[in-house]
């Protein structure tokens, strides 16, 4: 199996991640257990010969825990509110998806081939974009690098910017006491759903499977429960530790001009999302923070966790992120093939 990694290669990863998360929590960093573990592992891999490997299955477990937690934010009342704003969610996700054209344009201006420019700039899951790029002749190392760098920039910048520039939101979710009977059902049911989703080769199975199960049960039985104290932090630590293992000194040295263009494209996409959120908030009077976070080109788990930490509308953010991912997954390849019908000009 691909997760088969020697123990000596990854035994230090959880320890370094824990240390980074603890230090970040002491400093008061937003999303400390994710961002702290992420930065600690990147620093060790870049500044020392110790190339920490990803914990086998660690990121999947983290997504499984976070998926259950995100789903518990959905209740019948909240779901009605989300559905009542379906048009806004659709429009916001469409803007985020289309804003990736900026990154594609930057890549093309500096000589990147169409497939590599397109699939490295699309705000979809890294694995899914690499697979689509492979089918369409992209340079896979660059697609993976572009996707990884985009997620890194969003995870490092967005939570900090929200916390220190915009402050905390108004609390919108008050979970009741932890109900271990429901959790004893939801955790294995979510794992089973993730396994089935993975067998069906669907995107992001270890987040989507548990999230769908948890949200369906929470809505159906009108639950008002949450994860136990420390549950979200464990999920953050595992996800952050996994993300950090994608980066090393060679990653940042490889094709610096490509990395620079990816960074500029990501920042421009984030600015477009912010401006669009300002407009939508003025029109609808919905919370600007939640709308902006929902339109950021980051991962669903990371952005939903940021919303949870800052006491924003997790269901609205999650719905916008999921809609954006669906747009990219279903439309990216047909749009690329339509664009690629004409030969490239030399």
246 belongs to a structural domain: no
Q: Is 62 exposed, middle or buried (0-12, 13-18, 19+ CB in 10 A)?
A: buried
- The pLDDT score that the predictor gives to residue 28 is 86
Residue 62 lies inside a defined structural domain of this protein: yes
Percent of the chain whose predicted confidence (pLDDT) is above 90: 70
Residue 11 above 50 pLDDT?
A: yes
Q: What is the pLDDT of residue 309?
A: 84
Model pLDDT, residue 1: 38
Residue 346 has pLDDT above 70, yes or no: no
Look up the domain containing 312 and give its range: 57-238+255-339
The pLDDT of 324-338, averaged and rounded, is 91
pLDDT at 166: 66
Q: Per-residue pLDDT tens for 294-313?
A: 999 988 998 999 898 888 88
Task: Tell whether 345 is covered by a domain.
Answer: no
What per-residue confidence (pLDDT) applies to 247?
93
Q: What is the mean pLDDT of residues 17-33?
A: 93
DSSP result, 131-164:
HHHHHTT--HHHHHHHHHHHHHHHHHHHHHHIII
Query: Tens digits of per-residue pLDDT, 266-283?
Result: 999 999 999 999 999 998
CB 34 within 8 A of CB 178: no
Residue pLDDT, tens place only, 173-212: 555 678 999 999 999 999 999 999 999 988 889 999 999 9
For residues 122 and 103, give the distance between their C-alpha atoms in angstroms, rounded to a whole number.
8
pTM of the entire predicted model: 0.90
Q: Please say if the pLDDT value at position 3 is more than 60.
A: no
Whether 210 is in a domain gets the answer yes
Whether 117 has a pLDDT exceeding 50, the answer reads yes
The number of folded domains in the chain is 1
Task: Give the pLDDT of residue 81.
Answer: 86
Q: Is the pLDDT of residue 48 over 80?
A: yes
* pLDDT band, residue 110 (cuts 50/70/90): confident
> What's residue 170's pLDDT?
53
Number of residues that this document lists for the chain: 346
Instruction: Give residue-wise pLDDT tens across range 58-89.
Output: 999 999 999 999 999 999 998 998 899 999 99
| 50 in a structural domain | no
Measured CA to CA, the distance from residue 201 to residue 191 in angstroms comes to 15
What is the mean pLDDT of the segment spanning 120-146?
90
29 within domain boundaries: no
Scanning the structure block, which residue is given the tokens 């509308």? 313
- C-alpha to C-alpha distance for 162 and 151, rounded to whole angstroms: 16
**Residues 216-227: pLDDT tens digits?**
999 999 998 999
Asked whether residue 298 is assigned to any structural domain, the reply reads yes
Q: Is pLDDT above 50 for 260?
A: yes
Evaluate whether residue 35 is within a structural domain: no
pLDDT in tens, 244-256: 998 999 898 888 8
Give the pLDDT mean for 156-174: 71
């Amino acid at each position: 199996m691909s997760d088969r990694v020697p123990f000596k290669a990854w035994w230090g990863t959880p320890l370094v991640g824990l240390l980074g998360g603890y230090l970040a929590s002491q400093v008061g960093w937003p999303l400390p257990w994710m961002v702290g573990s992420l930065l600690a592992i990147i620093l060790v891999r870049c500044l020392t010969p110790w190339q920490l490997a990803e914990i086998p299955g660690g990121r999947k477990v983290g997504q499984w825990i976070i998926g259950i937690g995100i789903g518990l934010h959905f209740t019948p009342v909240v779901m009605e509110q989300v559905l009542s704003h379906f048009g806004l969610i659709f429009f916001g996700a469409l803007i985020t998806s289309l804003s990736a054209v900026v990154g594609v344009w930057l890549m093309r201006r500096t000589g990147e081939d169409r497939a590599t420019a397109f699939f490295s700039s699309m705000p979809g899951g890294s694995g899914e974009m690499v697979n689509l790029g492979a089918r369409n002749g992209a340079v896979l190392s660059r697609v993976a690098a572009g996707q990884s760098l985009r997620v890194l920039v969003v995870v490092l910048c967005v939570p900090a910017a929200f916390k220190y520039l915009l402050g905390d939101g108004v609390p919108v979710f008050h979970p009741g006491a932890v109900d271990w009977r429901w959790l004893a059902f939801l955790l294995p049911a979510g794992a089973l759903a993730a396994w089935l989703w993975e067998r069906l080769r669907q995107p992001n199975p270890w987040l989507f499977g548990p999230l769908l199960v948890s949200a369906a049960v929470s809505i159906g039985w009108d639950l008002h429960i949450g994860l136990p104290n420390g549950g979200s932090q464990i999920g953050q630590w595992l996800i952050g530790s996994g993300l950090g293992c994608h980066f090393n000194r060679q990653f940042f040295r490889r094709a610096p001009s490509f990395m620079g263009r990816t960074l500029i494209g990501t920042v421009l996409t984030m600015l477009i999302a912010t401006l669009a959120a300002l407009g939508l908030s003025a029109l609808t009077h919905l919370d600007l923070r939640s709308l902006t976070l929902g339109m950021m080109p980051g991962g669903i788990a990371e952005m939903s966790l940021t919303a949870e930490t800052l006491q924003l509308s997790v269901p609205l953010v999650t719905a916008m992120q999921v809609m954006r991912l669906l747009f990219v997954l279903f439309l990216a390849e047909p749009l690329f093939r339509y664009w690629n019908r004409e030969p490239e000009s030399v």
